[in-house]
Amino acid sequence: MQLQQQRNQRPSRAELTAMGLTPAQADHELVRQSELEVIETSITRWVMLFGCIICALLPVSLVLFFYLIYSYVLEQRQDCDVPLVLWFWVAMFNIFYHINLGGRSIHRQVIRSVCRYQAPEQSLEVPPARVRLYHWLTTIFVFSWHCVGLHWARISQTCHRTAPNLYTSTYLFASFNVIFTIFTVISTYGLQHMLASLLRRGLLPSSILGSDRAAPEGTLELQSSVIFDPEEFGDALQCPTCLEDFSKEHQIRKTICHSQQG
């Protein structure tokens, strides 16, 4: 319904040309508005779905967390053929290391103090390589440690009898976090590619991009030049950025995505 209302409110090609736009500019504006409507609808659905999944998983994670603590307190002194107590303490340290209290965490402090990086607010700036490496190392370690917990619980021969609660809570907590980590990594990877696509199309608000998102000086000069040939260009006889017709008098650059710009 909302999408239909947006389409009804969208000006027609005739109205755009009546406002002083050329036919090519009017077509370009209609395509841009259609893309924005589709992107807005897709992002809204994705955010709602992701939010619902997180809201459903949050109480489950809390229940498993308190069950793990309860099991440790109850059975920490029980004999077991695999070091589930050691696994418990490392898992608790991982949680304490990443927990965010009032916008602060040990994880963020390490980024600021050791990596010497302060993420700007409301910006899509890509962190430097050292920060990305640190994020990946910590994520891989936490994920691997949960896999270790699953492995120890699987190969144990006595824990399910001597410490059944600790054995069960470790298995459930580790399984949940393995699945949750895979889900969040895939979602984040998809979001990054979606934002990158929007950046290439220039469909993100400038308030989000910030003033430092422009291409570095000299980027245009690095693109290869081509000579205008109507037969080779086919229907692409106009620059998609400036909306001017190509001609042999204008310098034409071919971008890395193989589109021509004047």
In angstroms, rounded to a whole number, what is the distance separating the alpha carbons of residues 206 and 141? Answer: 36
What is the mean predicted confidence (pLDDT) over 112-126?
Answer: 71
Residue 123 has pLDDT above 90, yes or no: no
pLDDT over 70 (residue 244): no
Round the average pLDDT of the chain to a whole number and report it: 77
Strand ranges of the sheet holding 252-254, from the earlier edge strand across to the other edge: 224-226, 252-254, 260-261
**β-sheet bridge partners, residue 253:** 225, 261
Confidence band for 124, pLDDT divided at 50, 70 and 90 = low
Per-residue confidence at 208, pLDDT binned at 50, 70, 90? very low
Q: Given the structure tokens 């106009």, which residue do they identify?
A: 238
8 A C-beta contact, residue 70 and residue 145:
no
Please report, for the chain, the start and end positions of each structural domain, with discontinuous segments joined by +.
Answer: 79-206, 217-262
d(CA 88, CA 79): 15
214/194 Cα distance (integer angstroms)? 19
CA dist 116 and 212 (Å) reads 19
- Average confidence (pLDDT) over 59-69: 94
3-class SS shares of the chain: helix, strand, coil, % to 5: 65, 5, 30
Higher per-residue confidence, 30 vs 97: 97
What is the per-residue pLDDT for 17? 74
Answer yes or no: is pLDDT of 105 > 50: yes
Output 18 or 149, whichever has higher pLDDT: 149
Q: Which tokens belong to 42?
A: 């897709």
Separation CA 40–CA 228 (nearest Å): 36
